Amino acid sequence: MYHTNRLLLNDHWRVSADPTAVGKSITLPHSWNAHDTMHPDPAQHYRRGVWHYQRPLTVTADPARGRRQWLHFEAAAMKAQVCLNERTLGGHVGGYTPFTLEVAGLPTGTEALLSTAVDNSPDPDLIPSDQSDFFLYGGLTRNVWQYETGPIRLAQLHIAITLPTAEATAQLTCRAELDGSLNDTAVLHLTLLDPQGTAVWQTTQPITQPNHQADLPDVPQPRLWSPDNPQLYTLTAVVRLNGEVSDSVRERLGFRHFDFPLGGPFYLNGERLLLRGTHRHEDWAGHGSAVPDALSWQEMRQIKAAGFNFIRLGHYPQADAVLDACDELGLLVWEELPWCRGGIGGETFKRQTRQMFREMVAHHYNRPSIVFWGLGNELDWESDHPDSTDEKVLAFLQELHDLSHELDDSRLTALRRFEPGAAVVDVYSPSIWSGWYRGRYQDYERVLSAAIEKYPRLLHAEWG
């Protein structure tokens, strides 16, 4: 979901490990680990800690006129605290999901200093674990935006699509979260455009509560989204208060129906589809995880051109540009919570992990490309927590599986390599490396055939 009046704030930043220093001039996205992790001895040069990002920001919020100003961070790895002229706006925990903060408390027109302290220090209560086989880059690793609204902001917009078969009429339900004080003039106006830009329908609904839910007009025989023909519709949503536009957003939707019956195979839009997949880490030489959108698009086009129709985004939620590319190019997606190795901690660990999962699902709910929510990777690894046991990991995995279906019952949960969890998730990927880490390559067919018989929904995600 994109606010239609958003402005990119990737320029005019300075960064330093010393909060009192002027700092080096940089453009976002940025990671202070972009080069040190490439050192021949990264263990001695891989910098972990707090770095400080600063840029000027003009305060445009005007409470007297009902105008509000917002900052949207696509990611801050791994923890962030945001201030404006030393006034705290808020913070965020988790390096791969976005967050939005309101600019408030300063007079309109103030030329202020926006300061963001970003921290990638080791923290056993924050996933992913340091035992993960990828670097935990620090920085403002994705885009930062600002936008303005009136008194009411459309904070979240989910469109639940029911399409029982490929030939059926699509039924749509709108769920919206609104931030601000409502009155009896508040309405939500929605317009759906087909892939050619022709209006399918328009509807206006009164808004009576912050958590708005209502049925939308049907779409008879929609043009279907698929890897071969990724048809995308455009939905615009406008909030009006007292007849004036308070907020406006744009979202893209794809109509598709998938089925993965026990024993397989995978079906999309009623037809059997062989998933030809690969993986992708958010990592680029000279950039680290702070990959510019243009390079992400270049990479995704290469993946599509290589003949793939499926991708596992390992092992964390990835940038909007990556998911935009998957939606537009026609790549089915397994998107993953960054619970990678390290066992399970206490209540702080669980609370932060739940929140990260909620943010991932909420932010990418409308993506037609996503079919699986990955709950973790290699959860049988050595633990960072002395009290962690397989039983505790399994219990929390069950909680996340249940939470996933509570938040989004249109997609399946998935997991790679934690044998006890195979009975919990919808889709399981065992670890089969015959002739690579163990065994002989001649055993591959036999071992894989046994796994197909053992696991009701098997997706062989990693192999060699």
- 42-51, 84-93, 230-239, 283-292: which has the minimum mean pLDDT? 42-51
Domain count, the chain: 3
> Amino acid letter at 455?
Y
Range of the domain at 60: 2-149
Domain containing residue 305: CATH number: 3.20.20.80
Sign of CA dihedral 344, 347, 353, 354: positive
Q: Are residues 201 and 332 in the same domain?
A: no
Domain-ending residue, one of 101, 119, 149 = 149
Q: Is the pLDDT of residue 464 over 70?
A: no
Q: In what order do the strands lie in the sheet with 13-16?
A: 24-26, 13-16, 50-58, 111-119, 79-84, 87-93
Question: Beta strand 170-179 with 187-193: parallel, antiparallel or unpaired?
Answer: unpaired
- H helix intervals, 176-231: none
> Amino acid letter at 312?
R
Q: Where does the pLDDT of residue 283 fall: very low under 50, low under 70, confident under 90, or very high at 90 and above?
A: very high
Q: Are residues 305 and 335 in the same domain?
A: yes
Bridge partners (DSSP) listed for residue 272: 267
Q: Where does the pLDDT of residue 39 fall: very low under 50, low under 70, confident under 90, or very high at 90 and above?
A: confident
Average pLDDT over residues 279-299: 98
Q: Looking at the domain assignment, is residue 443 inside a domain?
A: yes
Q: Are residues 331 and 375 in the same domain?
A: yes
Give pTM, 2 decimals: 0.97
Q: Looking at the domain assignment, is residue 305 inside a domain?
A: yes
Report the pLDDT value the prediction gives residue 462, as an integer from 0 to 100. 87
Report the catalytic residues.
378
What is Dmax (Cα atoms) for the chain? 74
Domain-ending residue, one of 114, 149, 184 = 149
Q: Is the pLDDT of residue 43 over 80?
A: no
Q: Looking at the domain assignment, is residue 345 inside a domain?
A: yes
Q: Are residues 270 and 385 in the same domain?
A: yes
Tell me the CA distances in angstroms from 435 to 378, 432, 442, 443, 462, one per residue in order. Answer: 20, 9, 7, 8, 13
Q: What is the mean pLDDT of the chain?
A: 96
Report the pLDDT value the prediction gives residue 111, as an integer from 0 to 100. 98
Q: Are residues 31 and 162 in the same domain?
A: no
pLDDT per residue over 74-95, tens digit each?
999 999 999 999 999 999 999 9
pLDDT per residue over 47-71, tens digit each?
999 999 999 999 999 999 999 999 9
Report the pLDDT value the prediction gives residue 291, as an integer from 0 to 100. 99
Q: Are residues 125 and 158 in the same domain?
A: no
Contact 224, 267 (CB under 8 A): no
Contact 15, 23 (CB under 8 A): yes
Q: Is the pLDDT of residue 381 over 90?
A: yes
Question: Beta strand 310-313 with 277-280: parallel, antiparallel or unpaired?
Answer: parallel
Q: Are residues 282 and 305 in the same domain?
A: yes
How far is it, in rounded angstroms, from Cα 117 to Cα 104?
A: 19
Q: Is the pLDDT of residue 392 over 90?
A: yes
Report the pLDDT value the prediction gives residue 433, as an integer from 0 to 100. 82
Bridge partners (DSSP) listed for residue 250: 2, 236
Domain containing residue 233: CATH number: 2.60.40.10
Domain-ending residue, one of 253, 276, 299 = 253
Report the pLDDT value the prediction gives residue 442, as an integer from 0 to 100. 86
Provide the percentage of residues in the chain whose pLDDT is more than 70: 100
Q: Looking at the domain assignment, is residue 281 inside a domain?
A: yes
Q: Are residues 301 and 351 in the same domain?
A: yes
Q: Name the burial class of residue 406, with classes exposed (0-12), middle (13-18) and buried (19+) by CB atoms within 10 angstroms of its CB.
A: exposed
Q: Where does the pLDDT of residue 103 fall: very low under 50, low under 70, confident under 90, or very high at 90 and above?
A: very high
Average pLDDT over residues 195-214: 97
Q: Are residues 272 and 316 in the same domain?
A: yes
Q: Are residues 162 and 140 in the same domain?
A: no
- What is the gyration radius of the CA atoms in the chain, in angstroms? 23
Q: Are residues 126 and 173 in the same domain?
A: no
Q: Smallest Cα–Cα separation from 29: which of 365, 318, 278?
A: 318
Report the pLDDT value the prediction gives residue 157, as an integer from 0 to 100. 98
Q: Are residues 186 and 282 in the same domain?
A: no
Q: Looking at the domain assignment, is residue 385 inside a domain?
A: yes
Sign of CA dihedral 177, 180, 182, 185: negative
pLDDT per residue over 257-268, tens digit each?
999 999 999 999
